[in-house]
């Protein structure tokens, strides 16, 4: 009752009920507190808004003019608050997501049809990006990213099993070249790089206690893993992608996997978001739908 919005809302209630007693009961305040608030509002505005008698309350001309402007705005505010509460209580509204295109295809799209049928009031706005991002600064509700790129203060929920990269080349490419047995031998090959906005992704290898890092050097680099593999299929050189996504091409003999014993497993993809507090029902529904069993 100590702010203008509260007092204007109380004024609209008194005008609707034409009674301080009934209006106070609906607002959950005492009649004296409501009357005091109305007198304070009238004093600040320098206008008499309500005409009072011992039996009734009516709106003055000045009060009616103010009510005509204020009532629609109060109704919009009330609807907005109700919609916000509904998003907390029932899965509805928009969720802004940011995730790599490959993760969208492998994680979200296979479950999207069932999710949309179950939660028709939720709309997902998906932005594709390979780069780690600041969700809060970017205005995103959640993201999906490899565990190693997620900030420590984020809440992370696993959405894939452990993954590993595969190093591959086409049969035609290796027909004229020696298949590498050690990561250092990649210096003699055309390596097609995958590029983040801040530079090339370095290929990390591990075997026992030995670790080797290779900066790919070759005729091209791409910011899309699918283009890397397309170039590999065209015989341009050697490239990397998630092993799971290449099983079909490897099984068909269209790609030759090399250095498999040097490629370590890593935790995989996680859905992450800033906080558990006041989590919208729509985001909770998405988390449960994508969470790895």
Question: What is the CATH number for 169?
Answer: 3.40.190.290
Are 204 and 219 contained in the same domain?
Answer: yes
- pLDDT the model gives residue 18: 87
Are 115 and 81 contained in the same domain?
Answer: no
- pLDDT the model gives residue 82: 65
> pTM here?
0.69
- How many domains would you assign to the chain? 3
Are 171 and 257 contained in the same domain?
Answer: yes
Are 13 and 78 contained in the same domain?
Answer: yes
Are 189 and 246 contained in the same domain?
Answer: yes
- pLDDT the model gives residue 136: 85
Are 236 and 254 contained in the same domain?
Answer: yes
- pLDDT the model gives residue 155: 92
Final residue in a domain of this structure, among 55, 89, 123? 89
Q: What is the pLDDT along the chain (293 residues), one digit of tens a residue?
A: 446 778 888 888 888 888 888 888 888 889 888 888 888 888 888 889 888 877 778 889 988 888 888 888 888 877 777 666 665 567 888 999 999 999 999 999 999 999 999 999 999 999 999 998 889 889 999 999 999 899 888 999 999 999 999 999 999 999 999 999 999 999 999 999 999 988 999 999 999 999 999 999 999 999 999 999 999 999 999 999 999 999 999 999 999 999 999 999 999 999 999 976 667 889 999 999 999 98
- pLDDT the model gives residue 92: 87
- pLDDT the model gives residue 244: 93
Q: Is 147 exposed, middle or buried (0-12, 13-18, 19+ CB in 10 A)?
A: middle
Final residue in a domain of this structure, among 32, 57, 89? 89
List all residues 6 or more positions away from 10 whose beta carbon is below 8 Å from its beta carbon: 1, 23, 27, 29, 34, 37, 38
Are 141 and 193 contained in the same domain?
Answer: no
Final residue in a domain of this structure, among 36, 61, 89? 89
Domain that holds residue 141: 93-162+268-290
Question: What is the CATH number for 59?
Answer: 1.10.10.10
Are 158 and 169 contained in the same domain?
Answer: no
- pLDDT the model gives residue 76: 83
- pLDDT the model gives residue 84: 62
- pLDDT the model gives residue 1: 41
List all residues 6 or more positions away from 170 whose beta carbon is below 8 Å from its beta carbon: 232, 233, 234, 235, 254, 255, 256
Are 78 and 17 contained in the same domain?
Answer: yes
């Amino acid at each position: 009752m100590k702010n203008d919005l509260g007092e204007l809302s109380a004024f609209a209630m008194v005008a609707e009920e034409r009674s301080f007693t009934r209006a106070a009961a609906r607002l959950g305040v005492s009649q004296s507190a409501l009357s005091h608030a109305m007198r304070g509002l009238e004093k600040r505005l320098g206008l008499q808004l309500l005409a009072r008698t011992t039996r009734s309350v009516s709106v003055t001309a000045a009060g009616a003019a103010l009510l005509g402007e204020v009532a629609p705005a109060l109704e919009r505010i009330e609807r907005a608050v109700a919609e916000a509460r509904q998003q907390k209580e029932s899965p509805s509204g928009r969720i802004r997501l940011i995730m790599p295109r490959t993760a969208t295809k492998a994680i979200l799209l296979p479950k999207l049809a069932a999710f949309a049928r179950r939660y028709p009031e939720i709309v997902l706005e998906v932005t594709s990006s390979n780069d780690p991002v600041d969700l809060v600064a970017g205005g995103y509700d959640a993201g999906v990213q490899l565990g190693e790129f997620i900030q420590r203060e984020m809440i992370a929920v696993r959405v894939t099993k452990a993954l590993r990269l595969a190093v591959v080349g086409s049969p035609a490419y290796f027909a004229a070249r020696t298949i590498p047995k050690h990561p250092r031998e990649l210096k003699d090959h055309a390596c097609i790089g995958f590029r983040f906005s801040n530079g090339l992704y370095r290929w990390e290898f591990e075997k026992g206690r030995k670790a080797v890092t290779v900066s790919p050097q070759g005729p091209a680099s791409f910011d899309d893993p699918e283009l890397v593999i397309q170039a590999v299929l065209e015989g341009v050189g050697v490239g990397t992608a998630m092993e799971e996504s290449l099983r079909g091409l490897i099984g068909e003999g269209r790609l030759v996997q090399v250095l498999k014993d040097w490629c370590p497993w890593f935790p995989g993809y996680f859905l992450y978001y800033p906080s558990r507090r006041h989590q919208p029902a729509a985001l909770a529904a998405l988390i449960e739908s994508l969470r790895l069993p």
